[in-house]
Structure 1
């Protein structure tokens, strides 16, 4: 297994010097890209010396509604109302719970929420998917999951992603892919699916929605990966990891999000999406996540 390192509170508390050194290694590129990344690395290293002065803007915080699916299935409007009361202004959709796109947009508008992104597949009527995304007011749309046994299948899928991304771009939607852990493991003993995707799907057609829990679960350090794909990671799924490897509410697990955000601050991430795959109390998870991100200084 090829690892890019691990990322936890113990491994990431290396200080500003470590951040600058790590970012310096990321600029071994060439030409204009080298100069541009060198400037960004310098800015990030400078920011790393100002611990505690940066924060995630409230208008960059979202929540994946999959976290609250059990409540949304019982009381869709009431759950959206509770999210708005917590302070959320953005949500990421995983379905509209038997509402049409226009009806769901009406509920969101009623409570001052915006569906800036969603998880949707590319099978079926993708044109209709894009039409609904426009109705909902989305900026982003990401494929939530894919898994194949061969590199050839992943290459075919990457081409499909690129085609869908071009179609989405033409109507003003930024199209992306959301990872799990298996994309960081080689298939057939050779290539990693994530590398196939980033090589074969063009960056202007397919961005990355990086699920930090799954990257860390794959024993990969998100920081050099984000810098390697500078500007392509538009969204973070911010999901904490308990000592036993299970999901945890933000701030209660092992991931040092402060260090991670500080070291990736200048790379183009636009949204920080709270998520928990199986919360015991979804609204408590939403509340803890929102408070954690709004209180965090790094």
Structure 2
């Protein structure tokens, strides 16, 4: 069975190598051109990928897909589940392919927080985030923020930073108040950090740079997800977001994780390759 997976991995590597040429050409000719001159660069150990991007491949061949990510150059990943493996089993796979889980999306509502903390310790990540919440009233958002803060305080005491990952609806006001502001104002900066999904910030009608400085010091992670000409998702560097300017203007402050993501890629490994190469080569 392992030989089959190795053969599949070889196919992954061949496909990625060929697709990368096309992908990088697309990145260079896209609206958001890379800046290839002298300037700052994102440290490689700060470049990660949200495994949700590759969920279909991971379900079909977990080991082969993790190994392919390592071949691309990734050394860290953000989890969104363990694909039927225990925390210990998943950690052993990461170790086998020299990958490190630096963060994970884990839902705290309705879960045993102590169990979540133990899983984090086993796998080894020191950051986690609530991936999604959506309510129709401000009172519901306020109650959610209180629960979030309480859970995050427990994570903090265990040495893990727990945060909130946005979509676009948190930037759309309810009775004149944005849910993202409710979350920020009703949680402690000591307990809850923010993971900004930059595509969704823009889709919500907000300026990510303004939002960054509005919550200065709390933003510890970026989801680097590009926006196509049609408003949909695009591989990083091939869309309309000016990453060089955005990263230059938000460089000040805590060192962040830059996490490649695409919600529905046609070719997930090509998306991973194009995103990694773009961020590695970007100068700003």
- Inter-CA distance 269–195: structure 2 relative to 1 (3 Å threshold): farther
The answer for the alignment partner of 2:12 in structure 1 is none
1:148 partner SS: coil
- Inter-CA distance 241–173: structure 2 relative to 1 (3 Å threshold): same
2:63 partner SS: helix
Residues 87-236 of structure 1: matches in 2 within 5 Å? Answer: 87-122=73-108, 123-187=110-174, 189-236=175-222
**Residue range with higher mean Cα deviation, 80-89 or 266-275:** 266-275
Q: State the alpha-carbon separation in 1 of the partners of residues 144 and 265 from structure 2.
A: 31
**Equivalent residue pairs, number:** 251
The answer for the alignment partner of 1:264 in structure 2 is 250
Given the alignment, which residue of 59, 64, 69 partners 1:78? 64
The answer for the alignment partner of 2:7 in structure 1 is none
Tell me if the contact between 1:215 and 1:221 (Cα under 8 Å) persists in the aligned partners: yes
* TM-score (normalised: structure 2): 0.86
Given the alignment, which residue of 238, 241, 250 partners 1:252? 238
- In the TM superposition, structure 1's runs of 4+ consecutive aligned residues that sit over 3 Å from their partners are none
Structure 2 gaps, min length 5 = 1-29
- Inter-CA distance 81–235: structure 2 relative to 1 (3 Å threshold): same
Q: 1:161-180: per-residue Cα shift (whole Å, max 9, x none)? A: 10011000011100000000
Structure 1 gaps, min length 5 = 1-8, 14-50
1:186 partner SS: coil
Tell me if the contact between 2:113 and 2:154 (Cα under 8 Å) persists in the aligned partners: no
Q: How far does residue 269 in structure 1 lie from its aligned partner after superposition?
A: 4.1
